Amino acid sequence: MRRLLRGVCATLLASTAALAATSTAATAAPPETGTPTDPVIVAPAESGKRAFFGDMVKLKDGRLLVAYRESVAHINQDGRIMVVQSRDQGHTWSTPQVAIDTAIDDRDPKLVQLRDGTVLMNFFRTDWTGYPGKPVTLVGTFVTRSTDKGATWSTPNEVGTALEGPSDVVVGAYYAGHAATHGPILELRNGDLLVPLYGRLPEGGTGPATVVRSTDGGRTWPRENESVIGRSATFDFQEPNLSLLKDGSLLSIIRTSINIAYLSRSYDQGHTWTTPVSTELPASSHHQLVLRDGDVLFTYGDLSGTFGPGRPTVGRLLRHPERNIDADKDILIYDAAIHGPATADQANPSSVELRPGRFFTITSDPHLAAIVGVYTQRRDYR
């Protein structure tokens, strides 16, 4: 009898343990999203629209703030700028809120938080009235500010630049005499701010890359404070981005119309720049994040075809950015082709460093009609 009871007890204990294990498995947290095949949905677009051109900044209180353009298409008059926030390192996100919405296309928002806590957003506006029958008017580059961590935004101020001016010259689909932006404002050690621009002078010709300086915290951007990063006689410089490196020098990597990124440096706080040179990287719509140790996480839309057709989001770690932008390897961060046909209408990445060696990168996925996010670690790039 005792032997029988012991057997029954053993069976009951085993069953209880099995039930406990099943219960634990059922209540355990699901595998972490934020992988190349299972990204975090950062910002879904409103029904019938898509999300484009996301940019992200880590605020001083640890929150992540993302701004992006929402529209029915890459080219459309209804473009507006939305913002979302995350309080848990990018795992979950707030409901999208409208930041900027005018009667024309507000697009390409970029974010920075200044040392005093103010958040600045630079963006540009395009008027598509009459397109494609008429040339397009690029209205200008603007800067708006938030003193409540992105909840509300001021009336935008226009950036002064020699690129803008009346023009009857048509280059491609656009009237000349315009300036656009695709890189965040950079705060220098002395408090000056630089906003990177690209565009077309009123007389036409190839497009230069420039920076305009603000000496009053981003409230005004005088035209006379503009410096040229570079201009080529044979191709356009586009979408310059800026980084303040550990040694105090400035690094600008610039997209071009020949689909090879170029590089320029400044050793006098952005007043003058070295002649841009080819990086040989087929990179576009890139982002430069200076890490706590001085390295740079460089993420970009890859046009080489190495990681797939279209323009997947790729990254590399620059370990000696003061000297070169060589890297151990480039990695595929995300490709929207996992959800549909290969497309060039993706990339436009932006990254933050969550903690040393842990990164979060956002990009756009036209098939999901959303801004999505992927986690990577330093060892992924080595």
> What is the residue-level pLDDT of the chain in tens, covering all 382 positions?
333 334 433 333 333 333 333 333 333 334 579 999 999 999 999 999 999 999 999 999 999 999 999 999 999 999 999 999 999 999 999 999 999 999 999 999 999 999 999 999 999 999 999 999 999 999 999 999 999 999 999 999 999 999 999 999 999 999 999 999 999 999 999 999 999 999 999 999 999 999 999 999 999 999 999 999 999 999 999 999 999 999 999 999 999 999 999 999 999 999 999 999 999 999 999 999 999 999 999 999 999 999 999 999 999 999 999 999 999 999 999 999 999 999 999 999 999 999 999 999 999 999 999 999 999 999 999 9
Residue 190, in any domain of the structure: yes
Residue 167, in any domain of the structure: yes
Question: How far is 56 from 295, CA to CA, in rounded Å?
Answer: 19
User: For residue 130, what is the domain's CATH number?
Assistant: 2.120.10.10
Question: How far is 304 from 105, CA to CA, in rounded Å?
Answer: 31
Residue 7, in any domain of the structure: no
Q: Helix or strand or coil: residue 176? A: coil
Task: Kindly write down the DSSP assignment for every residue of 28-78, as one continuous string.
Answer: SPPPP--BTTB-EEEEEPPTT-EEEEEEEEE-TTS-EEEEEEEESSSS-TT
Structure tokens belonging to residue 12 = 């009951």
Q: What is the pTM of this model?
A: 0.91
Residue 24, in any domain of the structure: no
Residue 32, in any domain of the structure: no
Residue 65, in any domain of the structure: yes
Residue 30, in any domain of the structure: no
Count: domains in the chain: 1
Residue 26, in any domain of the structure: no
- Helices within 45-173 (DSSP H only): none
Q: Are 197 and 179 in contact (CB under 8 A)?
A: yes
- Which residues span the domain enclosing 110? 40-380
